[in-house]
C-alpha cells in the first residue's frame, strides 16, 4: 500500500493563479481531510469528506474548493491564490469517525 | 469557538531529562489523539485516549486523559535525540465527530 500520496511536493504560484493539489489514498478509507500548517498555529482543518459525493467545510475553508467523486481521490482547489495561502498542506484519511488519521507527505506552497 | 491549546509552545531539554506537554480544550472531548511530527515530516499517530482518567504507556511515553475529559498530557521519561519533533493533540470538534481539530503543538528540542 502506498498509503496517502500528495502531488506536487512543492509549488510556487503568483497571486491570482489557480491550481489543484492532488491527494489519493489506497486504503479504502471513508474519511478524508485537508489541513494547512502554519508556524505556531498547528494544523487547521480546511475541508473534509465522509465519503464519495459528501464534503463539508472545516475551520478555514475560504479560498478553497474540494470535491470527492471517488473514494480514493480528494483534490483541493485554490481558486485565486493569495500570499496568505502560503503554507504546508496535508491531506489525511481515516477509516471511521474514531480512528487514527494517516497523513500524506505534504505539499509546500508559496504564493508570491 | 472551540479551541485546543497546548503548552508549552517550545521546550528545550538536555538528553536524559523528562519532558511534558499539556493539552487543554475549552469543551469536553469524546476522545483525544496524540501525533508526532518529525522536522520536515508529516504527523504520525501515537495513541488515542477515550475514557475519563485514562492512562496509557508506550515505552518511555505516558499519556493521560483528564477526569473531566477537557485536558490531556504527554510525558516522556529520559528523553533521547530521537524524541525531537512537534507533538500535537487532536480531538473532535463539538457537534460532530467528522471534524478533528488539532492543538497548536509543542516543539521539543533535545540537546545531546
* Each residue's pLDDT tens digit, B89-102: 998 866 556 688 89
The verdict on a CB contact (< 8 Å) between A103 and B97 is no
**DSSP code, position B93:** P
Cα gap A101→B9, rounded to integer Å: 23
CA distance A96 to chain B (A): 9
Rounded Cα–Cα distance for residues A44 and A29 (Å): 21
Q: Is 80 exceeded by the pLDDT of residue B79?
A: yes
Q: Is B54 helix (H, G, I), strand (E, B) or coil?
A: coil
Contact at 8 Å (CB) between A5 and A101? no
For chain B, give the mean pLDDT: 92
Q: In whole angstroms, what is the distance from residue B43 CA to residue B86 CA? A: 9
Can you give the pLDDT at residue B24? Answer: 94
* Residue pair B74/B61 in contact by the 8 Å Cβ criterion: yes
DSSP class per residue in chain A: ---EEEE-SEEEE-TT--EEEEEEESS--SEEEEEEE-TTS-EEEEEEEEETTEEEE-SS-TTEEE--SSSSB--EEESS--GGG-EEEEEEEESSTTSPPEE---EEEEE-
- pLDDT, residue A4, reads 98
**Residue A13: pLDDT band with limits 50, 70, 90:** very high
- Of A46, A9, A27, A2, give the one whose Cα is nearest residue A101: A27
Nearest CA in chain A to B48: A100
| pLDDT (0 to 100) of residue B97 | 61
Report pLDDT for A98. 79
pLDDT band at B36 (very low <50, low <70, confident <90, very high): very high
Q: What is the mean pLDDT of residues B10-26?
A: 96
> pLDDT for A45-104, tens place per residue?
999 999 999 999 998 999 999 999 999 999 999 999 999 999 999 999 999 877 899 999
HEC secondary structure over A62-77: CCEEECCCCCCECCEE
The pairing of beta strand A10-13 with beta strand A107-111: parallel
pLDDT at residue A1 in the model: 77
* Beta pairing, strands B106-111 & B10-14: parallel
Cell numbers for B65, please give them: 486523559
> CB-CB: which of B43, B44, B97 is closest to A43?
B43
β-sheet bridge partners, residue A42: none
Choice among A23-27, B1-5, B52-56, B100-104 with the minimum mean pLDDT = B1-5
Q: How many CA atoms lie within 13 A of B78 on its CB side?
A: 2
- Do the chains contact at A101 and B98, CB–CB below 8 Å? no
Q: Is a pLDDT exceeding 60 seen at residue B1?
A: no
Contact (Cβ atoms closer than 8 angstroms) between residue B86 and residue B107 = yes
Residue A37 has pLDDT above 80, yes or no: yes
Q: Mutate which of B2, B7, B21, B100 to test chain A, going by most A C-beta atoms within 10 A?
A: B100
Q: Are A105 and A82 in contact (CB under 8 A)?
A: no
What are the angstrom distances between the C-alpha of B98 and each of A1, A25, A51, B44, B103? 24, 18, 11, 19, 16
Residue A35 confidence (pLDDT) above 60 = yes
Amino acid at each position: 500500500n502506498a498509503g496517502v500520496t500528495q502531488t506536487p511536493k512543492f509549488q510556487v504560484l503568483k497571486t491570482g493563479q489557480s491550481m489543484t493539489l492532488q491527494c489519493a489514498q489506497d486504503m479504502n478509507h471513508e474519511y478524508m481531510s485537508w489541513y494547512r500548517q502554519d508556524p505556531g498555529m498547528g494544523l487547521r482543518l480546511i475541508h473534509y469528506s465522509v465519503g464519495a459525493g459528501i464534503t463539508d467545510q472545516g475551520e478555514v475553508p475560504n479560498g478553497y474548493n474540494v470535491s470527492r467523486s471517488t473514494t480514493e481521490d480528494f483534490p483541493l482547489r485554490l481558486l485565486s491564490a493569495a500570499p496568505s495561502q502560503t503554507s504546508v498542506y496535508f491531506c489525511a484519511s481515516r477509516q471511521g469517525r474514531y480512528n487514527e488519521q494517516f497523513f500524506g507527505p505534504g505539499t509546500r506552497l508559496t504564493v508570491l | 469557538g472551540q479551541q485546543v491549546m497546548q503548552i508549552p509552545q517550545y521546550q528545550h531539554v538536555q538528553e536524559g531529562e523528562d519532558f511534558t506537554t499539556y493539552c487543554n480544550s475549552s469543551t469536553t472531548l469524546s476522545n483525544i489523539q496524540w501525533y508526532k511530527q518529525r522536522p520536515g515530516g508529516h504527523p504520525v499517530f501515537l495513541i488515542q485516549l477515550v475514557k475519563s482518567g485514562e492512562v496509557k504507556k508506550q515505552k518511555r511515553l505516558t499519556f493521560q486523559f483528564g477526569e473531566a475529559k477537557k485536558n490531556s498530557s504527554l510525558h516522556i521519561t529520559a528523553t533521547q535525540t530521537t524524541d525531537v519533533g512537534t507533538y500535537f493533540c487532536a480531538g473532535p470538534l463539538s457537534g460532530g465527530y467528522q471534524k478533528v481539530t488539532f492543538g497548536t503543538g509543542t516543539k521539543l528540542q533535545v540537546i545531546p
